[in-house]
Chain A
Amino acid sequence: MNGFQVRHVAKDDVSILYLSGFLDAHTVPQFENALEEVIKKKRYKIVVNFKDLDYISSAGLGVFMGFIEEVRANGGDIKLSNLSKRVYKVFDLLGFPALFEIYDDEQEACSKF
């Protein structure tokens, strides 16, 4: 059973990660690996597009907290885009909008670097 997929697309110096399915404690390692791959290549400008992500738990949010320091220390950022109302609510409940930039669409997120 595998209800999560992550796909990486490079647009100039910005790396976009497209998430789909559900991000919980079971699928989190896949997302961590994908982020690690991007960071290993010293690509620190990252946009995570949530358009096709149906569900997230705090395990999924923990991934962002685990990587953000390193990314910002290298002059980059992780920006979020296209969150559904359901997914946004979880980020909002945990106070993430104060810590991460969240945009309605991917283009806008990319343009903020």
Chain B
Amino acid sequence: MKQTVKKKYRLKISAATENLEIIRDFINRLAKKAGFNDEQVDQIELSVDEACTNVIKHAYKYDARKMIEIDVFIDPEKIEIMITDRGNGFDLSKLAKPKLDEFIKHARPGGLGIHLMKKLMDKVKFNIEPGKKTQVSLIKYRSQKGSKK
């Protein structure tokens, strides 16, 4: 049986907007090291920024004492980034796809970020345990097979 080599990395960091740059650098380095091309690296980096921005703004409401956990799994097929917060969670069904012209008048918190993540990554999965934790998994495949880009 073929053995799959899976590399794991972890960053646990205070939920402050000033740390977004550090988070982006962390993801950028790992995605590059894993062999993704420049465009894919940009897409992965922006998606993780959007997910963490949503955690800081909406799950933790700018409370920098709270922590964001970022787990990265790299295998020959894909990169998966799992972002975990210990906030209250949210109702995914209430986050409709934003219509830009309406968005100008009625900003829907976090909606644009999730919309971007879905466009940039091959898979976006949410695991919401209300009152306990919320996990967002962002997956990008290396090859065109199963990939949007």
Q: Are B112 and A58 in contact (CB under 8 A)?
A: yes
Q: Are B100 and A99 in contact (CB under 8 A)?
A: yes
List 26 interface pairs A-B (beta carbons < 8 Å), by A numbering: A3-B21, A22-B21, A24-B20, A24-B21, A24-B49, A25-B53, A26-B17, A57-B46, A57-B50, A57-B53, A58-B53, A58-B113, A61-B112, A62-B112, A65-B100, A65-B103, A65-B104, A65-B107, A66-B107, A69-B104, A90-B116, A93-B119, A94-B116, A95-B100, A98-B100, A99-B101
Q: A58-B112, A62-B112, A93-B120 are in contact. Are A86 and B42 (CB under 8 A)?
A: yes
Option from A3, A66, A68, A90 in Cβ contact (under 8 Å) with B46: A90
Chain A neighbourhood of B116, CB < 8 A: 58, 90, 93-94
Interface of B is mostly: helix
Option from A1, A90, A93, A96 in Cβ contact (under 8 Å) with B18: A1
Give residues 56-94 of B contacting A (CB, 8 Å). 56-57
Within the complex, the shortest CB–CB distance from A88 to chain B, in Å, comes to 12
Interface residue? B105 (CB, 8 A):
yes
Chain A neighbourhood of B103, CB < 8 A: 65
Give residues 1-30 of B contacting A (CB, 8 Å). 17-18, 20-21, 24
Residue in chain B with minimal CB distance to A64:
B104
A contacts with B, residue count (CB < 8 A): 25
Interface residue? B142 (CB, 8 A):
no
Q: A95–B119 Cα gap in the complex (Å)?
A: 12
Q: A94–B120 Cα gap in the complex (Å)?
A: 11
Give residues 36-59 of B contacting A (CB, 8 Å). 42, 46, 49-50, 53, 56-57
Q: Are B56 and A25 in contact (CB under 8 A)?
A: yes
Interface residue? A10 (CB, 8 A):
no
Chain B neighbourhood of A98, CB < 8 A: 100
Interface residue? B115 (CB, 8 A):
yes
Within the complex, the shortest CB–CB distance from A83 to chain B, in Å, comes to 14
